[in-house]
């Protein structure tokens, strides 16, 4: 049992760190990056966001973003197996929040918007209206991802408090 506890403690700690990193990234976009891009002329904002969307798809970001999701799945499985152990509900909720409200929201809402933005020619006169809609909708969903990632981080830390004892 001590080996399982040690593994779960380490896994939960690393997974919580991933949630915290992703929450911070999403937070930075919500409070600074998107506001800065909104101040630019539409063509400049579009070109900058297209560049950001391309640059962020790198091995380091993807390993943290998807590795955290994998960690959440493992934490949830162990929490279900050990359901009667103290803190299991926090681990389950923390994992589910990240998977549903961070990963799934990204896949269902933010990524399709990014893909549509990638097809826009920044200098096209019609792009300004599309950009305004993108900014509003993408940022709203990013707020959801930010809060969910932070809540996931918090719930995993609460669960870790029980696991570590």
Check whether 62 has a pLDDT greater than 80.
yes
Residue-level pLDDT at 19: 98
Mean pLDDT computed over 112-131? 96
CA 154 to chain centroid = 14
Q: Which of 127, 80, 76 is nearest to 103 (CA)?
A: 76
For residues 118-141, give the mean pLDDT. Answer: 96
Please write the tens of the pLDDT for every residue from 82-112.
999 999 999 999 999 999 999 999 999 999 9
What distances in angstroms separate CA 9 from CA 4, 23, 70, one per listed residue?
Answer: 8, 21, 15
User: CA torsion angle for 114, 116, 117, 118 (degrees, to 10)?
Assistant: 90
**Mean pLDDT value of segment 49-75:** 98
Q: What is the mean pLDDT of the chain?
A: 96
Supply the pTM of this predicted model: 0.94
CA proximity to 155, closest of 97, 103, 94: 94
pLDDT of residue 138: 98
CA 79 to centroid of chain Cα atoms: 21
User: What pLDDT digit, counting tens, does each position of 15-58 carry?
Assistant: 999 999 999 999 999 999 999 999 999 999 999 999 999 999 99
Domain limits, the chain: 2-163
Query: Which tokens go with 132?
Result: 């305004």
CA distance 150 to 27: 9
């Amino acid at each position: 049992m001590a080996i399982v506890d040690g593994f779960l403690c380490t896994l939960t700690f690393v997974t919580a760190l991933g949630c915290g990193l992703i929450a911070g990234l999403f937070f930075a976009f919500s409070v600074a990056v998107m506001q800065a891009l909104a101040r630019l002329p539409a063509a400049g904002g579009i070109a900058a966001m297209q560049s950001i969307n391309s640059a962020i798809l790198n091995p380091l970001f993807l390993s943290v973003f998807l590795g955290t999701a994998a960690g959440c799945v493992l934490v949830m499985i162990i929490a279900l197996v050990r359901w009667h152990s103290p803190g299991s509900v926090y681990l389950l909720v923390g994992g589910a929040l990240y998977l549903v409200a961070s990963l799934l929201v990204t896949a269902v809402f933010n990524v399709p918007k990014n893909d549509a933005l990638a097809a826009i020619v920044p200098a096209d006169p019609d792009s300004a209206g599309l950009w305004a809609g993108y900014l509003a909708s993408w940022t709203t969903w990013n707020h959801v991802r930010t809060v969910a990632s932070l809540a996931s981080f918090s719930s995993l830390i609460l669960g870790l408090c029980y696991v570590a004892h």
